[in-house]
A and B are shown apart, each in its own frame.
Chain A
Amino acid sequence: MDLNNFAFIALSAITLICALMVVIARNPIYSVIFLILTMFSLTGHYVLLHAQFIAVINIIVYAGAIMVLFLFVLMLMNMNANNEPNKSLLWKSLATIVAAGGFISMAVLYFRNMGDTPIKPTTNSVPGNMLPPDFGYVKPLGKMLFTDYVFPFEIASILFIAAMVGAVFLGSREKS
C-alpha cells in the first residue's frame, strides 16, 4: 500500500468517525469540535484531490469562521449535556433505519449503473494524469470566477450583504 492510498483510508476513517461523533455526542460543544475535525479531514481530502483553492477556503470559511460562530452561539446559550433534549428510542431506531435505507439505496443505484456511465470521464481514477498541471490552483479558478462567473459572484456579494443586514437587524430588535 503506498502513501496516497494510506492517506485516503486514514482520512476517510477520521471523517466518518468524527461525523458519527457529531451525531452521537451528548454535549453540543463536543459536537462542534468533532465537526471541526471533520472539516479538517475533508480539507485533507481536497489536498489529496489537488484542489488547493477549495482546501484553503474550506479551512478559512468553514473551520475558521462558521465553526467559531457555532461555538460562540453555544457558549452564549450555556448549553451542556445536562439540558440536552433527547428523542425516544423508537424515533431513534426509525431514523437509523431511514438513514441506512438511504445509504443502501445509493449503493444499489451505484451497483446497477456500474458498467454503463453515459459520460466518459477523462480518467477513471483520481488524481488524474491527463489534466493541466495547474488544475485546481488559485490562478485559473480566479480567472474563471472573474470572467465566466462574474455575475453569480456579484450576486453572491449581494446575498452576503443581505444576510449580514438581516442578522444585525434580527439581533438588535429588542431595544425598545
Chain B
Amino acid sequence: MNLIGFENYLWLGSALFCIGLLGVLVRRNVIILLMCIELMLNASNLLLVVFSKMFGNMNGQIFVFFSMLVAAAEVSVGLALIVLIYRKFKTIDSSFLDNLKG
C-alpha cells in the first residue's frame, strides 16, 4: 500500500480552514456564517484525525467526537436564535443586526 504524506493533509486542512474564514468575512447571511464556522470546525477535525494517526494515539479521535457534539449543540441553539431574530426583525442580514454596537 502506497502511503500519503501527512503534510498533504496539513495543506488540505489549512486550505479548508481559510475557505471557512473567507466565508465568515464575505457573507452576510447569518445561516451561511454558521455554515462557514462548521467548515472551519471540520478542518480542525480532519487535522485532529490526521495527527492521531500520525502519532499513533487515539485521543485525537475522542476529541473529534467531542468537538462534533459541541458543534451539534451550537448549531441547535444558534438556529433557534436565528429563527427568533428572523421573527422579530424579518431579516437575518448580519450588517443590519447591529443593536449591540453601542
- Chain A residues with CB under 8 Å of chain B are 2, 4-5, 8, 12, 15-16, 19-20, 22-23, 28, 31-32, 35, 38-39, 42, 45-46, 48-51, 53-54, 57-58, 61-62, 65-66, 69-70, 73-74, 76-77, 79, 84-87, 91-92, 94-96, 98-100, 102-103, 106-107, 110, 119, 121-128, 130-131, 135-136, 140-141, 144-145, 149, 152, 156, 159-160, 162-164, 166-167, 170-171, 173-174
Contact = CB atoms under 8 A, between A and B. Distances in A.
Interface string B3-23: 111111110101111111111
A77 B1 contact: no
A167 B80 contact: yes
A4 B82 CA distance: 42
Nearest to B14: A106
Contact of A51 (B5, B53, B74): B53
Contacts of B16: 15-16, 19
Contacts of A74: 31
B93 to A, nearest CB: 4
Nearest to B92: A77
A99 B3 contact: no
Contacts of A127: 1, 3-4, 53
A131 B53 contact: yes
B52 to A, nearest CB: 8
